[in-house]
Chain A
Amino acid sequence: MQRFRPQARRALCCFSLTALLFTFAVWPQDAAAQRAGSAPAPPDISGVYESIANGRVLPGGLKNSGSPGEIALLPSALEQMKAVNPKDDPWRMCQPIGQFRMMAREHTIIELDPATGRMGMLFEDVAHGLIRFIYLNRGHSGRPTVGADPNLTFSPFSWLGDSVGRWEGDTLVVDTIAFNTETWLNDAGARHSEALHQIERIRPILGGKFLEYKMTAEDPQALAKPYTYTRYFEKLDAEIGDDICLDEE
């Protein structure tokens, strides 16, 4: 076997030791965190998902349940709904319809994208779904104020509200407030107030092939009682498409 010259051996030793030191310096931090007993990393739920059809039954008897059409309205909200012109449905005009209606629909396609301090929820049907940022590093009171830039005048109320999230084990719990009142709660035209409060619980099931999604809405000025529905989203091995809304005016 060929022997190395002393200078070459020293150079190789230096290179090898440097490579080893570098490698261990940047070794994934998870192992250290696990040894220290810190909380396990949340599950990776990134990907593209589509809500399953009503009536489809998943292993374990899991299936969609509940519907925005079943909400119980306060008398004043019921009267308001009766006066609504169906032609004013935001859906017909390619306007955002709010996550309470959007997530309940069959074949809604979403993309979940975790990034630093937030989870992006993007809809293939951009016009009706828009985009959601779920902030994981602050509460509602920590929302950066408009005063940070005097040129901007954002309203505190918006189509999809202010969403903050936290992980409870394998479940992402999303709390949303500060909605504007442009959206409807169902196809029949049930309106809501700015007091609308939504809580969503999202977790991977069946080996990550599906998401279980539970939506609860409460609004003391419109709903007689809180309402919860459940949907299941199937993970797709596909990129999200480009869905263009053409309004029905």
Chain B
Amino acid sequence: MRLYLLWIGTLFAMANAPAAAAPDWTGFYMLAGARDLAGLKVVTPNLNKTVVDHLQPWAKLKMETSNGDADDTGAVCMAAGILRAPGSPFSSAFSVLPSRDKVIMPYWEINTSRVRRIYLNRQHPKNLTPTWNGDSIGRWEDDTLVVDTIGFNDKSWLTGNMAPHTEETHLIERMRQVEANGNTFIEVVGTVEDRKALTSAYTYTRYYKKQKIEMDVHACAEAVIWYKQWRNDALKKEYDRAREVK
């Protein structure tokens, strides 16, 4: 009898026990510099070269004929997507705001990389409207957040040298927090697939160091006059190119 009472109590307690808490990654992270990376292995440090080696011929041709700032929304403070972020230290600074049902990652370059939301409580919607940052869902595998992202539009670039991709792009990331050299990092192992633009998938590893300061709220082109100049230059290039084509 005592044993059965113990069982009932156990079942009640297990039903009411809180779920194991996910790791709290709250903070501000920036792409780690070489001096912080001792003992950590960065795969694909030169993302530009790796991506070019994986491009299908049409994609390589498009990259070679793209026209600098005129084709680069990121250069005029507009959305540029997250796919190229691992290749740039400035696009790779972000905050993490974990909550019950999602992990939010606002980027320091918020005008261009914007905000990522990784939903933990749902699957990808069936009829996705393509967006700059796609649709991210995640699940915890022990201390690792496994993130699956699809639904990218085809307006952004895989790299800063304008390697294109299609709406078929699929990004899989495994993120975990690691301690090394007296610092805390988020390790991201990313794999990018795109059967219409890439000959095969490519993988990279990046380490983002937790900062002792808070993330500054930064707006692209802090001074309006610079923004105007920047944008006018880009539009002029686009105009000149259109005239050349005619």
Within 8 A of B (CB), among A48-101: 88, 90, 93-96
**Which of A13, A118, A154, A249 touches B216 (beta carbons < 8 Å)?**
A154
Nearest-CB residue, chain A, relative to B130: A242
User: What string of 1s and 0s marks CB contacts (under 8 Å) between A1-31 and chain B?
Assistant: 0001000010011011101101110111000
**Which of A20, A132, A182 touches B217 (beta carbons < 8 Å)?**
A132
The minimal Cβ–Cβ distance linking B62 to chain A, given in whole angstroms, is 22
Are A115 and B3 touching (Cβ within 8 A)?
Answer: no
**Which of B6, B14, B98, B115 touches A131 (beta carbons < 8 Å)?**
B115
Nearest-CB residue, chain A, relative to B27: A116
Alpha-carbon distance between A12 and B9 when the two chains are bound, in angstroms: 13
Whether A122 contacts B106 in the complex (CB less than 8 A), given A152-B213, A158-B217, comes out as yes
Interface flag for B75 (CB, 8 Å):
no
The minimal Cβ–Cβ distance linking B57 to chain A, given in whole angstroms, is 31
Size of chain B's interface in residues, with CB distance under 8 A? 46
Whether A242 contacts B217 in the complex (CB less than 8 A), given A16-B10, A23-B13, comes out as no
Alpha-carbon distance between A1 and B214 when the two chains are bound, in angstroms: 64
Are A120 and B217 touching (Cβ within 8 A)?
Answer: no
Nearest-CB residue, chain A, relative to B79: A244
Are B224 and A93 touching (Cβ within 8 A)?
Answer: yes
Interface flag for A135 (CB, 8 Å):
yes
Q: Which residues of A contact B88 (CB under 8 A)?
A: none
Are B10 and A19 touching (Cβ within 8 A)?
Answer: yes
Whether A90 contacts B217 in the complex (CB less than 8 A), given A17-B6, A28-B18, comes out as no
- Contact residue range for chain A? 35 or more
Whether A135 contacts B214 in the complex (CB less than 8 A), given A20-B10, A244-B78, comes out as yes
Alpha-carbon distance between A242 and B216 when the two chains are bound, in angstroms: 22
Q: Which residues of A contact B215 (CB under 8 A)?
A: 133
Are B214 and A95 touching (Cβ within 8 A)?
Answer: no
Are B99 and A113 touching (Cβ within 8 A)?
Answer: yes
**Which of B17, B100, B119, B212 touches A23 (beta carbons < 8 Å)?**
B17
A-B contact list, 10 entries, CB within 8 Å: A16-B6, A88-B224, A93-B228, A96-B219, A113-B104, A122-B115, A240-B117, A242-B132, A242-B133, A244-B132
Contacts from B to A (Cβ < 8 Å): 3, 6-7, 9-10, 13-14, 16-18, 24, 26, 77-79, 95-100, 104, 106, 110-111, 114-115, 117, 119, 131-133, 211-217, 219, 222-224, 227-228, 231
Q: In the complex, given contacts A20-B9, A144-B213, A182-B224, what are 20 additional A-B residue pairs having Cβ atoms less than 8 angstroms apart?
A: A15-B10, A20-B10, A23-B16, A27-B18, A93-B227, A113-B104, A115-B96, A116-B26, A118-B26, A122-B106, A126-B115, A131-B217, A133-B214, A145-B213, A146-B213, A148-B211, A149-B213, A242-B114, A244-B79, A246-B78
